[in-house]
Structure 1
Amino acid sequence: MDILTLVGLVLALVALLVGAVLKGAGLSALWSSAAFVIVIIGTLAAIFVQTPMSTFKRALGIVAWVFKPPASGAEALIAQVVEWSGVARKQGLLGLENQIASQDDPFVKRGLQMLVDGSEPDAIRDTLETDMSTTEHADLAAAKVFEGMGIYSPTLGIIGAVLGLIAVMKNLADPSKLGHGIAAAFTATIYGIGAANLVFLPFANKLKGVVAQRTRERELLVAGLIAIAHGENPRNIEAKLQAFLH
């Protein structure tokens, strides 16, 4: 669990609630069903129009990484590659065949299988880099779903404020309704800007960071598999892969 994400969301909520009280607006001023419908439902509507179904489903699938990103396993991966290189030097590449079934990651399985099958290093590199690039592109597109929501929600907040002010203008003859009406109008702006800067954009940036980390680890793996295919010494492979940690 990413403790910083939880702390950040709690602090964001505290900042809004305590800030509203300290400013004298009160907690009740932060709730408006009309603002919720205009900003949140409107933002979802806009992102539905923008996003293909497959990308939206992928975004829902990776949003959990914000709270529990995949564990960084670069050091363990280096140790695993060095172990594989030792097996390959002693038993040949076919000695790695028993390792394939124990791997959970399809990317790792594909790389090991190509290594065992005796594929040329360039063929291994091309295949895995294409796979890696495709996955990275799809994950970044999914992360940008939240980025898009962060772009649309402030504008919809302004729309909500304008609609609220229109309602106020219709009640100019009744001064008792003006103050409440204006306050309600600006609640939509708070929803839009708050959701964008405290939720949607941070989510998008956190996911982009996770995607970048996963890509670096896969680049490490590809470099290790190519080194094994070339028959390099395990110690040299380890030294080469250590550079990825920096």
Structure 2
Amino acid sequence: MDKISLAGLAIGMVAIVGGQVLEGGHVSSLVQPTALLIVCGGTLGAVLLQSPLHIFKRGMWMAKWVWAPPVIEQKRMIDQILNWSQLSRREGLLALENHIPGIKDQFTKKGLQLLVDGADPERIRELLEVEINTFEDEWRQSAKIWESAGGYSPTIGILGAVMGLIHVMENLSDPTKLGSGIAVAFVATIYGVGLANLIYLPIAGKLKYYIMRMVASREMLIDGLVGIAVGDNPRIIESRLKGYLL
């Protein structure tokens, strides 16, 4: 569980609600189901319109990383690469073939298989970097649905505000209906800006951070495999790979 995400969300909400109370307002005045429907429904519709379904589904699935980050074990990977390096120096590259069936990650498995097959170091780097670029592009596109939601939400909030004001203008002759229309108008703007800056954009930023870490881990793996292929000393490989650690 990522405690800093929970803390950030809680602090943001407490600050807004607390400010409302300190100003003498009521928390209930911030609760407007109509405004919430307009902002959330409109934002969802806009995001769905711009995104292919598989990108949208993956982006929604990735949101769980905010609370349960993906496991990125760079230190364990360095130890594994150093073990492969030492084994290959003692027994040759073919000795690594026995390790391939036990590898679950398909990217790692492919890289080690290329190494065992005796592929040229630069060819290994070229083939694996193509996969990294594709991986990064696909996952960044998925993370962008939250960034897009952060862009659409304030505008939809303004749309809700205009709709509320239209309602007010239509009922100028009936003062009892003016309050609800004005409330929807202003609260819709709050929802639009608040959701964008407290939820959508922060989620997008955190997802991009984890994608960057995953890409860096794959680049580290390539560097290690190429080092083994050219016969670098394990200590040199270890020193180079530690530069990837954050």
Q: Same fold (TM over 0.5)?
A: yes
Verify the 8 A CA contact 1:38 1:160 in the aligned structure 2: yes
| Matching residue of 1:117 | 117
User: Which stretches of structure 1, 4 residues or longer, exceed 3 Å deviation after superposition?
Assistant: none
Q: Deviation of residue 24 (structure 1)?
A: 2.7
Q: 1:180 to 1:53 in 2, by over 3 A?
A: closer
| Worse-superposed segment, 169-178 or 125-134 | 169-178
| Matching residue of 2:152 | 152
Q: Deviation of residue 236 (structure 1)?
A: 1.4
Verify the 8 A CA contact 1:20 1:27 in the aligned structure 2: yes
What code does the residue aligned with 2:175 have?
P
Q: Deviation of residue 98 (structure 1)?
A: 1.9
After superposition, the C-alpha distances for 1:129-186 in whole angstroms (9 at most, x for unaligned) are 0011100011111111000000000000000011001111112122343344312311
Cα distance in 1 between the residues matched to 2:81 and 2:105: 14
Q: Percent identity?
A: 48
Cα distance in 2 between the residues matched to 1:225 and 1:57: 33
| Matching residue of 1:43 | 43
| Matching residue of 2:135 | 135
Cα distance in 2 between the residues matched to 1:170 and 1:222: 66
Structure-2-length-normalised TM-score: 0.95
| Matching residue of 1:181 | 181
After superposition, the C-alpha distances for 1:74-116 in whole angstroms (9 at most, x for unaligned) are 2222121111100111111111112212222111111111111
Aligned-pair Cα RMSD in Å: 1.4
1:11 aligns with 2:26: no
Q: Deviation of residue 6 (structure 1)?
A: 1.0
| Matching residue of 1:214 | 214
Cα distance in 2 between the residues matched to 1:36 and 1:243: 47
Cα distance in 1 between the residues matched to 2:3 and 2:239: 33
| Matching residue of 1:59 | 59
Cα distance in 2 between the residues matched to 1:41 and 1:25: 27
| Worse-superposed segment, 13-22 or 113-122 | 13-22
Verify the 8 A CA contact 2:35 2:188 in the aligned structure 1: yes
Cα distance in 2 between the residues matched to 1:38 and 1:180: 15
Verify the 8 A CA contact 1:81 1:224 in the aligned structure 2: yes
| Worse-superposed segment, 25-34 or 217-226 | 25-34
What code does the residue aligned with 1:147 have?
E
**Secondary structure of the corresponding residue to residue 172 of structure 2:** coil
Cα distance in 1 between the residues matched to 2:134 and 2:190: 38
Q: Deviation of residue 20 (structure 1)?
A: 2.4
Verify the 8 A CA contact 1:29 1:184 in the aligned structure 2: no
| Worse-superposed segment, 26-35 or 188-197 | 26-35
**Secondary structure of the corresponding residue to residue 101 of structure 1:** helix
Size of the aligned set, in residue pairs, is: 246
| Matching residue of 1:23 | 23
| Matching residue of 2:107 | 107
Cα distance in 1 between the residues matched to 2:28 and 2:244: 52
Structure-1-length-normalised TM-score: 0.95
